[in-house]
Amino acid sequence: MVTLAGACSFPVQGEFMGRELPLPPERTRTILVIYNHGFTSETAGTYRPQLPPILQTLARRNPDVVVFSQVRNTSRLDAVHHMSYIEAAIEHFHRQQGIPLGNIVLAGQSCGGWGSLQAAAYSYPQIGGVVAFAPTCHGRLPHSTQTRMRRLQEIEQLARRARFPGLIFLYEGDSYYDVDDWAGFHKASGLPADGVHIVRLGRDAVLRVCARCTLDSHGVVWDRQFDAAYYESEVQPLVERVRERIRAAAGPR
């Protein structure tokens, strides 16, 4: 694991998973995926770079894709800090490494997914795309009335600001959120059909792709059956859309 840069109090730490960034002349044609893990107080400060199988497949199948697994190792993180760490990584790769914003895809699980959505919606709307698995950063259910109302308001604000292509995976039976919290997302967003796509897995679908998720669906993304079921139909098409936009921006060669 390496520290690439520090932006204010938010260092950029992590590891390239597989191939690293190419030489500078090739970077304008490279897709960079920045993956961020979830977060619990029990494992705070001990995270190591890793990727869920569906993102391993993404890197393996696409030779123009580089994946950086970012870690946020500190004893405490407030919800807003996840976004700040991710913003620091975007800034580093864009300003210091020459990756265009439209070539960057943010991906994340739980708090990492929530922070990725926030960073794209509030700070970097030009981002290439977002893939969020079980995005939330509001603690385990049951939520207080105040927390649920705050979450609903934050989801509505995300919807109104989202101007990037993206995928949001939600699972029924997740111990950290209610999938119905996202019911009004598209109505609030006014996004076109090729905007943010929500993939909602009911309990039967969850158990088909994650046999160990009988008590809690939150970790579905770590099962290889989830990769087999949803990579080809959902993730690869998003990568193709990002690639097409990069080629269109570059013009004829």
Handedness of CA 248, 123, 105, 239 (dihedral sign): negative
Instruction: Write down the H helix ranges in 162-235.
Output: 185-189, 203-209, 224-230
- Cβ contact 35:107 at 8 Å: yes
pLDDT of residue 153: 92
Host H or E run for residue 250? helix 236-250
- Give the contacts of 168 (CB within 8 A, at least 6 positions apart): 113, 117, 132, 135, 182, 185, 196, 197, 198, 199
Alpha-carbon span 158 to 145, nearest angstrom: 20
- For residue 239, give every residue at least 6 positions away whose Cβ sits within 8 Å of its Cβ, in sequence order, or none: 31, 58, 62, 65, 105
CB count in 10 Å sphere of residue 250: 11
- The pair phi, psi for residue 174, each rounded to 5°, is -80, 135
pLDDT over 80 at 228, yes or no: yes
Compute the average pLDDT of residues 40-48. 63
Do residues 1 and 51 lie in contact, with contact meaning Cβ atoms separated by under 8 Å? no
User: What letter would DSSP give residue 129?
Assistant: E
Structural domain total, the chain: 1
**74 lies in which domain range?**
2-250
Measured between alpha carbons, how far is residue 223 from residues 69, 115, 229, 232 in Å? 18, 22, 10, 15
The pTM score is: 0.92
For a pLDDT cut of 70, what percent of the chain falls above it?
86
Among 107, 106, 98, 93, smallest CA distance to 25 is for 98
Q: 192 or 64: which carries more pLDDT confidence? A: 64
DSSP 131: E
Residue 117 sits in a domain of what CATH number?
3.40.50.1820
What average pLDDT does this structure show over 120-136?
Answer: 96
**Sign (positive or negative) of CA dihedral 90, 124, 85, 237:** negative
DSSP assignment of 222-246 equals GSHHHHHHHIIIIIHHHHHHHHHHH
DSSP per-residue string spanning 61-98: H-TTEEEEEEE---S---HHHHHHHHHHHHHIIIIIT-
pLDDT of 186 > 80? The answer is no
Q: What is the DSSP letter of 211?
A: T
Mean pLDDT value across the chain: 89
pLDDT at position 120 is 95
The answer to which of 111-115, 194-198, 212-216, 234-238 has the lowest mean pLDDT is: 194-198
